[in-house]
Amino acid sequence: MFNIAILGFGVIGNGVYEVIEENKERISAVFGSSVGYTRDTSIRIKHILDKREFLGHPLERRITNDFNKILSDSSVSVVVETLGGTSPAFEFSKAALEAGKSVVTSNKEVVDKYGDILLETADKHGVSYLYEASVGGGIPIIGPLESCFYSNKITRIAGILNGTTNYILSRMKEAGISLEDALSEAKGMGYTEANPHSDLAGLDSARKLGILAGIAFNRYIPHEKITFVEGIMNVKQEDFELAAKLGYNIKLLAVAELIDRRAKLLVAPHLVKKGSLLSAVNGVFNAVSITGSTLGEVVFYGQGAGSMPTASAVVNDVITIFKFKPKAICRQNLEDGFLLSESEFGDVPLTLSNGSSYRVL
């Protein structure tokens, strides 16, 4: 039996429990068939850190508000962090790594701000720090980016990395409604955070872009270093009809492109050619296009948010740790001059007949 602890039993934390419960036999078979275990190979949630009690929940007796209880339990070898926010998520994650426990997280804010420290701490203590669920929800993108492009130099990443804004833009185009009305719909569907500013301003996409670009270009790139970040607040409903006449759709894209030995990083609404894969991504779905020097373009597509897709990615990371014990992959610090300034981008925005201006992919 493999014991884990979950920090935070909200939507994602409880989703982790549900994924494990629904897939017990499949998970056990992964270990049994590969390494020939005769003992119990199930994953057991031994502790759950939360201030709430969850009376009536099957795991109510495993709830604790004492993190030290988890830290001191030598039988727990993996800690799942689904707290959200940066504190105490960072402090708890670092303490767990220092105690010799691997950590899995879905928390993009922590990975963005403290990923360098946590990966180096994991490396120092011989444990793993995995964060597949921090970008793209259930889409497997970080793992492939780290391990499936050895024979390629990644030259470009371009993606729809935020389901909320993609839903809003899709509804503006399909239903001919305003941004405000589409946002109201998204709130009613449960697709937005209580405060949607991070989504609408492009900050959520920027955090995810920093993580992906950091892996592709072997550098720590916090989102504040990204050269240009613009959200969707200036997109007008009439822009979609004008763009369509020119053969384009409008999407909020996060783009990282290697130009010689430097990189262009930005988040902004783009005109995307109709018929392209990214143009066809609608609703809350995400898609990431990766271009390799020898492979060319590949696209990863799927649900970029939601408790079960995200929890699925978390559980897969847990299984990966128990099965393979992957080493932490550390990257170099971001040096001055690596990121191009906006004036060095070299792209020419296209201006629609109403004066709205967009970059073109």
The answer to whether the CB of 81 falls within 8 A of the CB of 7 is: yes
Angle formed by the axes of helices 307-324 and 11-22, to 10°?
Answer: 60
Q: Look up tokens 């799942």; give the residue.
A: 80
336, 249 Cβ separation under 8 angstroms: no
Euclidean distance between CA atoms 307 and 309, whole angstroms: 6
The one catalytic residue among 101, 113, 208, 264? 208
Amino acid identity for residue 114 in this structure: Y
Please count the other Cβ atoms lying within 10 Å of the Cβ belonging to residue 86. 14
Q: What span, in angstroms and rounded, lies between the C-alpha atoms of 317 and 328?
A: 13
Among this protein's residues, is 274 annotated catalytic?
Answer: no
CA dihedral 227, 274, 143, 119 (to 10 degrees): 10
Q: What share of the chain is helix, strand, coil (3-state, %, to 5)?
A: 40, 25, 35
The token pair at 110 is 């922590």
Q: Which residues are catalytically annotated?
A: 208
